[in-house]
Amino acid sequence: MSCWETVQAYGLRSLGIGERLLPRNDFTLCDQFTLIGSGMIWNVYFGFFALISGFVFATALGFAKAQPSPWVRKPAEWFIFIFRGSPLFIQFFFGYFLFLSLKSVHPFFDAFTSAWLGALVVLFFNTSAYSAEIFYGALQSIPKGDTEAADAYGMSGWPRFKRIIWPTMLRLAWPAYTNEAIFLFHATTLVFFTGFPALQQRGDALYYASYFADKTFNPFVPYPILAMYFILLTLVIIGVFGAINRRLNRHLPQDQIRKIRLRPNLIR
Amino acid sequence: MCRPYPSQKTPDQGCLPQGHSAIFACTDPETLSGLSWLTCYLTTGKHLAFYGAFGTVLLLLAITAPAAMAFGFGGAMAARSRILPVSWLGRGYIAVVRGVPDIAFFLFFVIALDQGIEYLRHKIKCPDWTEPLRQGSDFIVCQAAKMPLGNSPQWVHESYGFSLAVLTFAIVFGAFAANVLYGAMRAVPRAQLETAEAYGMSPRQTFWRVLVPQMWVYALPGLGNLWMVLIKATPLLFLLGVEDIVYWARELGGAKTPRFTDYPHPDWRMWYFLALLVFYLCFTRVSEIVLDRVMRKLTRGQATSGGEAQRKALT
């Protein structure tokens, strides 16, 4: 099989399109590149949708945590504590078995036991909690002068939030939020190693990489390929988030703009 | 093996079923109900192994934390080195581990370390072996180089697997620690080092007597964070093939029929993982409180913004 034929056969294998049987012997480099790349579709899918939906919820949570009323603040604090204080690995397991039990109660939960929705929900909650903590921290460090200026202009309620508080919070939180996004994409590799089954061997990039490592007893080819894909993905994220960062800071003098710095400490 | 009932005077009346705690009368689970059933259920041999697995997790943490610190210190020293290749090595180590999903590293290192060890032993023990090591999809070394040896007892296999896991954890978290320590070393005010040089200290003396004692204040927040991360990474032991709490929770929670066990129950894996979730929450919360206290003690009287805030709060 030429390499192009392999790409045609396995390029969308992770979605169940194309050749059904995975290669069983005589693995070529092309096989490994194609299948692991095909698995990246899932990583991007999970990361992208969890990030978008998590962003909205995290904003709400971050503001809820900053409220003086304990009826609003306490639930937000507990939510953030639970999802930041326990390992994502255990959360995936718990979520899967929870959905499994709910499935026997009501058929509505059928879809939640498969990875495309169930794992997405868990990731959504997890990234919401982490981002909410970042947003909360940014809210606390909004310069006092900004809010005082808003008050002086007679702004209150929605306009004050929309035009002053929210943009400033985003601007301050953005470097940390970029890191959160990068590690969210890294965390998507856990999905198929927890309870969630990879039906008909439709897995993510790490699933295929470990498949090859198991079959060939040679970890020195598939894992570096996986690493290469993830470094590329990380560079794309840094590019996109850097552009947004520049846009959020476009009104500031050049030397005041916070640089995005990669920080390593986030395994969930 | 036969253990008599605790209440019996003569041993010939029968014996406890294997693997049961002798404290409770759990001989006939079918007659039990409610709380006593639960007490008996939670003290079966497998459950005791499950509780022991929490010890495995704590042991892993106790060994890995210093090991990762050692790797981190080495990495940070290498990254600061004035010899260019060594410095590249240190920086490369930090950068590569940071850029790739950690779980990929865990899966990679366990196989790679195993094969590396077997390869070295193969080279030493069987120098006259001519066949290639990789034949198709197999990695073949001579019998004497197998690690652990095929005829060694079970505990050797288990502790070999565990030490591979520890080494893997130490390598991955060493890179994180190296990053923190490297940053801390650079945060020490330059004037301190210049003063040391002015006193005629050699670079080695400057490093050990001036830089290292001062860097800990700067490193502590990062290291505390790293400790929390390390706690939350311990369930990954399951992926490395160690029989840890995740393994047992899956085993014990699965639905059991009366044919195979005295304690039949439906699928309870959800509750087992809920228990693990609570365990980790408590663990991280306690660590958080302890780290806060340590940090407050250490910042007292330091010329940092934290120390300054403490001073102001007192007056």
B138-139 and B134-135 as β-strands: parallel, antiparallel, unpaired? Answer: antiparallel
Q: Give the C-alpha separation, B256 to B297, whole Å.
A: 52
Q: A213 CB near a chain B CB, below 8 Å?
A: yes
Are B285 and A85 inside 8 Å of each other by CB? Answer: yes
Confidence of residue B10 (pLDDT cuts 50, 70, 90): very low
Chain B residue nearest residue A93, CA to CA = B273
Q: Highest-confidence range of A47-56, B42-51, B140-149, B286-295, by mean pLDDT?
A: A47-56
Q: Give the C-alpha separation, A33 to A205, whole Å.
A: 10
A36 with A225: CB under 8 angstroms? yes
Sole residue written with tokens 């007597």: B209
What DSSP element (H or E) covers B134? strand B134-135
Using an 8 Å CB-CB cutoff, list chain B residues near A217.
111, 115, 134, 137-139
Q: List chain A pLDDT tens, one digit each, 268 residues.
A: 788 888 888 888 888 888 888 887 778 888 889 999 999 999 999 999 999 999 999 999 999 999 999 999 999 999 999 999 999 999 999 999 999 888 888 888 888 888 889 999 999 999 999 999 999 989 988 888 888 999 999 988 899 999 999 999 999 899 889 888 988 998 899 898 888 888 888 888 999 998 998 888 888 889 989 988 988 898 899 889 989 988 988 888 776 666 666 554 444 5
Using an 8 Å CB-CB cutoff, list chain A residues near B246.
89-90, 93
A184 with A119: CB under 8 angstroms? no
Please determine, for residue B21, whether its predicted confidence score (pLDDT) is greater than 50. Answer: no
Q: Give the C-alpha separation, A40 to A163, whole Å.
A: 38
Is the pLDDT higher at B90 or at B258?
B90
Written as six digits, the tokens of B152 are: 């060694």
Q: A215 CB near a chain B CB, below 8 Å?
A: yes
What DSSP element (H or E) covers B138? strand B138-139
Helix %, strand %, coil % of chain A (to 5): 75, 0, 25
Sole residue written with tokens 């002015």: B198
Cα-Cα-Cα-Cα dihedral of B38, B42, B43, B44, to 10°? 100
- Looking at residues B207-227, what average pLDDT do you find? 84
**Inter-axis angle of helices A166-187 and A29-65, nearest 10:** 140
pLDDT tens digits for B200-211?
A: 999 889 988 888
Written as six digits, the tokens of A18 are: 């194309």
The identity of residue B180, as a single letter, is V
Closest C-alpha to A39, from A250, A230, A235: A230
- Looking at residues B100-122, what average pLDDT do you find? 83
Closest C-alpha to A235, from B263, B99, B157, B68: B99
- A206: nearest CB among B104, B136, B226: B104
pTM listed for this prediction: 0.83
Q: What is the pLDDT of residue B303?
A: 61
Are A231 and B100 inside 8 Å of each other by CB? Answer: yes
Q: What is the pLDDT of residue A262?
A: 56
B221 with B52: CB under 8 angstroms? no
Using an 8 Å CB-CB cutoff, list chain B residues near A203.
none
- Provide the 10 A C-beta neighbour count for residue A73: 14
Q: B225 CB near a chain A CB, below 8 Å?
A: yes
**Inter-axis angle of helices B102-125 and A222-248, nearest 10:** 150
- Provide the 10 A C-beta neighbour count for residue B217: 19
Are A97 and B136 inside 8 Å of each other by CB? Answer: no
Confidence of residue B7 (pLDDT cuts 50, 70, 90): very low
